Amino acid sequence: MASALQESNYKVILLYLSSYRPSRISSSKSSSSNRMNRKFYIKGTTIGFVPGVCPESWVLENPQVLLDLQRRYVEAGSHIVYASTFTGNRIKLEEYGLQERLEEINTQLVALSRQAVGDQALVAGDMTMTGQQLFPMGELLFEELVDVYKEQASVLAKAGVDLFVVETMMSLQECRAAVIAIREVCDLPIMVTLTYNEDGRTLFGEGGVLL
């Protein structure tokens, strides 16, 4: 399955973020102390990230939760699962004092998803925004953001992901930085999704575009 995807004609796909969720597996979000408390509901069983705890670290401390969840997605017909590396970039990990464990965390999370699905599904390296805005709205320079993404992408590619997903983005410039970073590391397929307001534009006022 992985080789077929790598040999396909497309290299970068830009998608609107769909609101569809499988009926058997849904999610809810609630805020607590200005932090997101994400919970998943599976057949009546509630599992959730503890507020203030790094999600990537939480998954590694509770691996069976992810193994069960991703196996059920494959049983339901999923062809791709996301490694739980969503906020595994240096800037986000630094908020928890875990930046020096970036390689260890991302590598172990990819291995965990691979353990869950074996050869029954593809494993995507999951990447997203850093939480810092680009200059001039913020202090982060574009070249610095590319380096941040490149560091994570390099680890994910080395860990053996089949493709990359740059998801839930709000800025086309940040999407561009992530795609450039990944392309400087490897030639694996890239899927990009953005979050849009009801007017069809992102939080930064940008409309959709095909990269």
Encode the chain (211 residues) as per-residue pLDDT tens digits.
Answer: 544 444 433 344 444 333 333 333 333 333 332 333 344 433 444 455 677 899 999 999 999 999 999 999 999 999 999 999 999 999 999 999 999 999 999 999 999 999 999 999 999 999 999 999 999 989 999 999 999 999 999 999 999 999 999 999 998 999 999 999 999 999 999 999 988 888 887 777 777 654 4
* 142 in Cβ contact with 173 (< 8 Å): yes
**129 by DSSP, 3-state: which?**
coil
Whole-angstrom CA distances from 141 to 18, 51, 76, 88 are 30, 30, 42, 19
59-75 residue pLDDT tens = 999 999 999 999 999 99
Strands 25-32 and 190-194: unpaired
Reported pTM:
0.78
Query: Residue 122, CB half-sphere, CA atoms under 13 Å: how many?
Result: 19
The first and second tokens of residue 172, run together, are 């086309």
| pLDDT tens, residue by residue, 1-28 | 544 444 433 344 444 333 333 333 333 3
**Largest Cα–Cα separation, the chain:** 46
